[in-house]
Amino acid sequence: MKNFAFVLLLGLLAACGSNQVKEEKITEVIPNNQASANSELFNTQFSLFLHSYYTLKDAFINEQLNTIDSNSDSLAKMIAALPIKELKSDSTQKAALILIESIKAELKGLKGETDIEEKRKAFQMIGEQLLVLMQTVRYDFEIVYHQYCPMAMDNNGATWLSNSADIKNPYLPKTMLECGEVKDTLNFSVK
């Protein structure tokens, strides 16, 4: 009987191990039982905007110029739709509007470039400004990973944002796709 149980256990372990699927981390949303500093409308729209940024990041990873341009158009539409009036503080609204205008200008510049490396420079600026925007509005609906690669931009380093702790480098996708580290985990949820 002991041998049967042992064989059965080995069979179960082998069966479980053979069907392993690579699990990809997805966006970590903050649990609903925690209060957000922002309205549901703002969080929903900002989440859509942020995921549009992630789609743009993926287009850089795939190095598809047409997709990069169309995704930058989509991102520009999403940022224009952010309900800034939903933010509670007038000073936060004003600071957010300045950052939004700056991101819009970078998106316009990104689309105007024809060289992918020049587009990447604009993308880096967008990511840096988006990071400051997130910190300004204290976006607390989901966890965002601020990532950094010291080898990007001719060894000057560059950052980007991700909804996963896994590194997928949008600056060096062909040569160093996994080069980088999580520099910070942005989690503004009320604790």
pLDDT digits (tens, 9 = 90+) for 111-142: 999 999 999 999 999 999 999 999 999 999 89
**Torsion angle of C-alpha atoms 66, 67, 72, 76, degrees rounded to 10:** 110
**Residue 14 three-state SS:** helix
Determine the Cα–Cα distance for residues 45 and 83; give it in Å rounded to an integer.
7
φ and ψ at residue 7, rounded to 5 degrees: -65, -40
Name the nearest CA neighbour of 163 among 27, 50, 25, 24: 27
Give the C-alpha separation, 181 to 23, whole Å: 19
State pTM to two decimals.
0.81
Contact predicate 95/136, CB 8 Å: yes
Of 26-40, 66-80, 129-143, 165-179, least confident by mean pLDDT is: 26-40
CB atoms within 10 A of CB 127: 22
47 pLDDT higher than 70: yes
Assign residue 68 a region: left if phi > 0, alpha if psi is -120 to 50, beta otherwise? alpha
pLDDT of residue 170: 98
CA-to-CA dists, residue 20 to 14, 24, 28, 127, angstroms? 10, 12, 22, 34
28 to 44, 104, 181: CA distances (angstroms): 14, 27, 18
For 153-181, what is each residue's pLDDT tens digit? 999 999 999 999 999 999 999 999 999 99
Q: For the chain, list the domains and their CATH numbers.
A: 29-186 (1.20.120)
